Amino acid sequence: MITVVTGGTGMVGKCLQEIIGNNKKDSENNFIFLSSSDYDLTNITQVEDLFKTLKPNYIIHLAANVGGLYKNLRQKTQMFKDNVRMNENILEMANKYNVQKGIFCLSSCVFPHNPSEYPMTEKMIHESEPHPSNEGYGYSKRMMEMQCRNYNEQFGREYMCLIPVNLYGPYDNFNLEDSHVIPGLIHKFYNSKQNNTKFQMYGSGKPLRQFVFSYDFSELILKILFEYTGKERSIICCNDEISIIELTKLISKLSDYDTNNITCDLTKSDGCMRKTVDGSLLKKIYPEYKFTPLTIGIEKTIEWFENNYDKCRR
């Protein structure tokens, strides 16, 4: 059986490679990890060539034009365009070449910016518009959820959308302009320590966020793809909630940096103040699953970043 993983050299793809490499009993499944250098997923001709050549039985679609808050603010049009094209091309060709089952990665950006209640559930994805700061990316992922649902209903497919909250871990993008919050903070604290300078946090620190370690999400992808047979097709992966200021202080402590040297730049946007989601469906499916505690996950991420500083994405 062949499983194709798009975005296979990104953070989650790399974690999947490690997990699969350490799991010898999974030898019956042949995994092919693709990067943007293999196929341009915005090009329908290349995507058809992918399916015609590789003949996958399963698809794990991780590839995306993705970034943190400030990239979302700068590149709304490009992020919407690229992601809609990639997602629709993959879905169209997966269906055409009879791929029955697949995992499609969404984002907590799909959720409404003013929901009717918290925590938000899978059923609230289209309740109202996403937050303006990430509407390009958020709407592109909403369109993929809708199309997965349509293919499932019209063609009897099993295309499942997983909605992770903020992912972090080894192999992440630590670029100071385009990264998500945890890798960005880790890199900034590293620079402040190296240069003996004050640390400036963007925004007020009041927004609340949930985080999931990339290895946990990778494990859940494999479990749900190969084990899950339920009818729910959109499943949230989540963890405990923490404010950005508490997160910043935690990373400061784990980076051995003096928290008294932290200042706030209130000219920078906070983005969405809250995106709290409900993980009870996942807990019902896998009641024994334990997420990696945030402190342990960040410790491992800091260690990986420092050990791979010269070759990581930064």
List, in order of start, the domains of the chain with CATH numbers.
2-172+210-241+275-292 (3.40.50.720)
Q: Which has more confidence, 297 or 137?
A: 297
d(CA 257, CA 8): 34
Q: How confident is the model at residue 24 (pLDDT cuts 50, 70, 90)?
A: low
Q: Does residue 247 contact residue 295 with C-beta atoms inside 8 Å?
A: no
Q: How confident is the model at residue 273 (pLDDT cuts 50, 70, 90)?
A: confident
d(CA 181, CA 168): 9
d(CA 144, CA 65): 14
Q: Does residue 254 contact residue 293 with C-beta atoms inside 8 Å?
A: no
DSSP-assigned beta bridge partners for residue 211 = 166
Q: Tell me the pLDDT of the chain averaged across its residues.
A: 92
What would the pLDDT profile of 71-117 be if each residue is shown by its tens digit?
A: 867 878 888 999 999 999 999 999 999 999 999 999 888 999 899 99
Q: Does residue 64 contact residue 7 with C-beta atoms inside 8 Å?
A: yes
Res. 27: pLDDT tops 60: no
Structure tokens at 223: 């479990």
Q: Dihedrals φ, ψ of 215, to 5°?
A: -70, -35
Q: Does residue 182 contact residue 168 with C-beta atoms inside 8 Å?
A: yes
Q: Dihedrals φ, ψ of 70, to 5°?
A: -80, -30
| pLDDT score at 74 | 82
- Mean pLDDT for the stretch of residues 33-56: 96
- Mean pLDDT for the stretch of residues 114-136: 91
Residue of 39, 58, 70, 137 marked active site: 137
| pLDDT score at 23 | 66
| pLDDT score at 154 | 97
| pLDDT score at 76 | 83
- Mean pLDDT for the stretch of residues 124-141: 90
Please confirm, yes or no, whether 137 is among the known catalytic residues: yes
Q: How confident is the model at residue 22 (pLDDT cuts 50, 70, 90)?
A: confident
| pLDDT score at 285 | 95
Among 22-26, 44-48, 199-203, 215-219, which stretch is predicted with the lowest mean pLDDT?
22-26
Residue 33, classed as helix, strand or coil, is strand
| pLDDT score at 150 | 97
* Number of Cβ within a 10 Å radius of residue 44: 15
* Number of Cβ within a 10 Å radius of residue 49: 13
Res. 219: pLDDT tops 60: yes
- The answer for residues whose C-beta is within 8 angstroms of residue 13's C-beta and 6 or more apart is 5, 7, 33, 62
Cβ-in-10-Å burial (0-12, 13-18, 19+) of 245 comes to middle
pTM equals 0.93
Residue 271, classed as helix, strand or coil, is coil
Res. 301: pLDDT tops 60: yes
Q: Kindly state the percentage of the chain with pLDDT values over 70.
A: 97
Q: Kindly state the percentage of the chain with pLDDT values over 90.
A: 71
Q: Which has more confidence, 159 or 131?
A: 159
